[in-house]
Structure formats: C-alpha cells, structure tokens
C-alpha cells in the first residue's frame, strides 16, 4: 500500500516498513471492567456501550513492537508540547505505512469492536487515530494530566519497556468522570483507594477504554527512563449519540492548527453525516412518516456538516502546541 497523502512536510520515515497483518497477535484481556462497576453514574447519557476499561493485553508480535519502537524513536524529533501534554507527536500515520496499517487494519478493528461492544471504525481524524506520548525531559511534569478523552474508544499501548521504570504510571479513577473532576476541583487530588494503575508487563501491552467516560492520566517519571505510549483512537457511529470528536473541533484547531484541523474535521463531518444519512435512508425515510418529521430527521442527519461549516466561519484561535526539543 502506498503512503497516504499527508500535509506538506510529512515525509515518509526512514524507519518505516509496510504494514502486514502478520504483526498482529491477539491475546484477550483477563478482565474488562464495565461502567456500572465504576459507579451508577459512570455511563452518563452518552456511553456507547457498557465497557469502561480493560486489564492490559497484547495485540502485536515482538517484531511488531520492535518496528514500532524504531518508528516512535524517529518521530520523537518532531515532538510538540501543549497545555496538557508536554511531549507528543500526532499525524504519524501520514509518515508511516506501518502506523497507517495499525490504525486501519480490518482484523484489528473487528477484534477491538468486540472488546468495545460498539461498532467502532478507523478514526476519520487521522491525527486522533495515532497519537504518541513521550515522557518529558522535565521530570517534574506529568506525562499527561487527568482528563477524559475527546474520542470515544482508544487503546493506550506501552511501546517502550516499562521494566524498572519508576513512575510513569497509567492511572484511572474508579468512578464516574464527573465525580472525579469534582473531587479534583475540591481537593486537588483523587482518593488513592479509588485510583487504579494497571501494570503493563512489557512493551507491546495495551489497555483499551471508552476513554471519554474514564478519567485517566499518566504520571511523571520519578527518575529518567524511556517512556513512549501510543494512544490509538477510533470513531463510533451511533443513531442517537454523537461521537465526542463532533463537538470538540475547537480544541482540534488549537492543538493541530487550521491547516490540519479543517481538513481532518471536514473528513470527520463527512463520515459522521454519511453514517447518519445511511441510517436515515434505511430506517427513517418511509411512507408512514409525516413530512415535518422527515424534514427534521433529515436535517439532524447533516448536523455534523453544519457544525463543521460553522467552524470555517469562526476566527482561528491561538495555538496551544509548540515544538519541543529532542531529549
Ligand atoms: Fe487520554
């Protein structure tokens, strides 16, 4: 497969190799926690399935992990930092056939779809599809702050070997996002007995989560150690619930800039609306429905496109991400 055409300057990496489904090796997680287990309110009105978060599992072979380590090491030279994450790289799928394959492989998506219990698809915002976090050089900074994701489902894959790593823990709040945010606001921290930290047994292990409904972070390193994770996100079409990406376009514009975000946002709007229009054609456009209902439903089907068109009319906001140096 040829490299997908990316933004200017997104050249193919020297370390890149073609994707091959033979890099996949599925080992189901031992445990999947449901939102109900996190608390009565944890699902909220916009959960796509009962799934909250899994225990760590593997889905890549050792050779797949080795390739990924080289690709991530090369990409570190393009790292940026934002208000929330000190060191990250997005858009690697445009510079690597391997990463593009990782983001779109039908076998992987089908397998993760079962884990998600939701009809996830490759993310139309390719900058969300593969986002790479690096531990910052400044050890006082967390790798990532407490947050819920602006994507529906994602995995967090440990790329580097976590053996002997002090700190750099992936943590999540065992409770509803809103309760966790309120506790952080009030106390500045979360009760230790409600914070869980899955142990990644080695490189190539991942957790999978309904990230917009799970409050999580990655803590600072307590001593220097290599720490690279891939956050791979997916899009979820749903008859009633908007994928969180639909309403977070202003942040995408601030993080990635308009040259990226207006293109990827338009692609997202097109795919989201297409799914809604397909459903409209199959289930809503029938002869028993009063014309006013039809019109309302048809208009609702294109809401993602209307919302994105409005973005073109809004002034660009100041960027919140800037390049950072190689460690
Ligand atoms: Fe996240």
pLDDT tens for 83-127 read 889 999 999 999 999 999 999 999 999 999 999 999 999 999 999
Using the mean position of ligand 1's atoms as its centre, give its distance from the Cα of residue 188 in Å.
Answer: 19
> What mean pLDDT is predicted for residues 187-204?
97
Domain-ending residue, one of 205, 225, 247: 247
How many angstroms is it from 284 CA to the middle of ligand 1? 35
Nearest one of 171, 3, 153, 140 to 71, comparing CA atoms: 3
- Percentage of residues in the chain with pLDDT exceeding 70? 99
| Co-location of 36 and 87 in the same domain | yes
Residue 176 reports pLDDT greater than 50: yes
Instruction: Determine the distance separating the centroid of ligand 1 and the alpha carbon of 23, expressed in angstroms.
Output: 25
**Final residue before a domain boundary, out of 199, 216, 247:** 247
Q: How far is the CA of 81 from the centre of ligand 1 (A)?
A: 15
Taking the centre of ligand 1 as the mean of its atom positions, its distance from the CA of residue 147, in whole angstroms, is 6
What is the pLDDT, as a whole number, of residue 317? 81
Mean pLDDT of 301-326: 90
If DSSP states are collapsed to H, E and C, what string results for the chain?
CCCCCCCCCCCCCCCCCCCCHHHEEEECCCCEEEHHHHCCCCCCCCCCCCEEEECCEEEECHHHHHHHHHHHHHHHHHCEEECCCCCEEECHHHCCHHHHHHHHCHHHHHHHHHHHCCCCEECCCHHHHCEEEECCCCCCCCCEEEECCCCCEEEEEECCCCCCCCECCEEEECCCHHHHHHHHHHHCCCCHHHEECCCCCCCCEEEEECHHHCCEEECCECCCCCCEEEEEEEECCCCCCCCHHHHCHHHHHHHHCHHHHHHHHHHHHHHHHHHHHHHHHHHHCCCCCCHHHHHHHHHHHCHHHHHHHHHHHCCCCCCCEEECCCC
CB distance 188 to 181 below 8 Å: no
Cα 137 to ligand 1 centroid, rounded to whole Å: 20
pLDDT of residue 325: 61
CA atoms within 13 A on the CB side of 109: 17
Q: What mean pLDDT comes out for the span 24-35?
A: 97
Q: Which of 202, 226, 247 is the last residue of a domain?
A: 247
175 with 45, same domain? yes
Q: How confident is the model at residue 2 (pLDDT cuts 50, 70, 90)?
A: confident
The arithmetic mean of pLDDT across residues 11-40, rounded, is 97
User: Do both 178 and 271 map to the same domain?
Assistant: no
CA of 27 from ligand 1 middle (Å) equals 23
Ligand 1 centroid to Cα of residue 148, in Å, is 6
Residues 73 and 182 in one domain: yes
Q: From the CA of 298, how far away is ligand 1's center (Å)?
A: 33
Please report which confidence band the pLDDT of residue 1 belongs to, taking 50, 70 and 90 as the band edges. Answer: low
Q: Distance, CA 211 to ligand 1 centroid (Å)?
A: 6
Tell me how far the alpha carbon of residue 271 is from its chain's centroid: 17
**Shared domain check, 170 and 25:** yes
5 within a domain of the structure (yes/no): no
| Domain membership flag for residue 168 | yes
Ion ligand 1: residues, Cβ under 5 Å: 149
Q: Judge whether residue 43 has pLDDT over 90.
A: yes
Distance 174 CA to ligand 1 centre (A): 15
User: Same domain, yes or no, for 179 and 227?
Assistant: yes
Same-domain check for residues 171 and 305: no
Please determine, for residue 221, whether its predicted confidence score (pLDDT) is greater than 70.
yes
What pLDDT was estimated at residue 327?
Answer: 43
Within-domain flag for 267:
yes
Whether 230 and 267 share a structural domain: no
Question: Does residue 259 share a domain with residue 190?
Answer: no
| Residues 6+ positions from 263 with CB-CB distance below 8 Å | 7
Are both 254 and 280 inside the same structural domain? yes
Displacement of CA 89 from its chain's centroid (Å): 13
Centre of ligand 1 to C-alpha 216, Å, is 6
Q: Are residues 212 and 265 in the same domain?
A: no
CA distance 215 to 211: 7
Residue 191 CA to ligand 1 center (angstroms) comes to 20
| Angstrom distance (rounded) from CA 115 to CA 27 | 12
d(CA 32, CA 209): 9
Query: Rounded CA gap, 28 and 291, in Å?
Result: 48
Average the pLDDT over 283-310 and give the result. 96
Q: In angstroms, what is the span from residue 297 Cα to ligand 1's centroid? A: 33
What's the CA-to-centroid distance between 139 and ligand 1, angstroms? 20
How many angstroms separate the alpha carbon of residue 150 from the centre of ligand 1? 8
Distance from residue 231's CA to the centre of ligand 1 (Å) = 7
In a domain, 1, yes or no: no
Domain that holds residue 108: 21-247
Each residue's pLDDT tens digit, 228-252: 999 999 999 998 899 999 999 999 9
CB 229 within 8 A of CB 218: yes
CA of 312 to the centre of ligand 1 (A): 27
When pLDDT is averaged across residues 41-56 and rounded to a whole number, the result is 97
Total number of domains in the chain? 2
- Average of per-residue pLDDT values in the chain: 96
Domain membership of residue 61 (yes or no) is: yes
The verdict on 186 and 255 lying in the same domain is no
Establish if 3 belongs to a structural domain: no
Q: How far is the CA of 133 from the centre of ligand 1 (A)?
A: 10
User: Is residue 57 within 8 Å of 198, Cβ to Cβ?
Assistant: no
The CATH code of the domain that includes 183 is: 2.60.120.620
Specify if 14 maps to a domain. Answer: no
31 domain residue, yes or no: yes
């Amino acid at each position: 497969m040829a490299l997908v055409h990316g933004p200017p300057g997104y050249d193919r990496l020297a370390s890149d190799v073609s994707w091959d489904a033979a890099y996949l090796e599925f080992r189901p997680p031992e445990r999947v926690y449901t939102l109900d287990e996190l608390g009565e309110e944890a699902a909220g009105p916009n959960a796509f399935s009962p799934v909250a978060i899994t225990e760590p599992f593997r889905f890549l072979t050792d050779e797949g992990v080795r390739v990924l380590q080289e690709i991530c090491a090369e990409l570190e030279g393009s790292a940026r930092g934002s208000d929330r994450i000190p060191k990250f790289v997005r858009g690697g799928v445009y510079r690597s056939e391997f990463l593009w394959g990782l983001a779109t492989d039908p076998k992987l998506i089908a397998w993760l779809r079962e884990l998600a219990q939701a009809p996830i698809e490759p993310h139309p915002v390719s900058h969300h599809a593969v986002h790479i976090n690096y531990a910052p050089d400044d050890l006082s900074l967390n790798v990532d702050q407490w947050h819920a994701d602006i994507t529906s489902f994602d995995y967090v894959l440990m790329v580097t070997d976590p053996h002997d790593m002090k700190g750099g823990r992936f943590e999540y709040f065992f409770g509803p996002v809103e309760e966790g945010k309120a506790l952080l606001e009030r106390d500045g921290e979360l009760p230790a007995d409600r914070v869980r930290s899955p142990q990644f047994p080695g490189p190539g292990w991942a957790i999978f989560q309904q990230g917009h409904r799970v409050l999580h972070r990655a803590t600072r390193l307590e001593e220097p150690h290599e720490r690279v994770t891939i956050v791979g996100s997916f899009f979820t079409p749903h008859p009633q619930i908007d994928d969180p990406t639909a309403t977070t376009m202003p942040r995408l514009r601030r993080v990635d800039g308009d040259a990226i975000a207006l293109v990827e946002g338009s692609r997202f709007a097109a795919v989201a609306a297409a799914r809604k229009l397909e459903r409209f054609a199959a289930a809503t456009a029938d002869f028993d429905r009063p014309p006013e209902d039809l019109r309302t439903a048809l208009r609702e089907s294109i809401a993602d496109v209307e919302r994105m068109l409005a973005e073109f009319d809004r002034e660009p906001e100041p960027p919140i991400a800037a390049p950072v140096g190689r460690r």
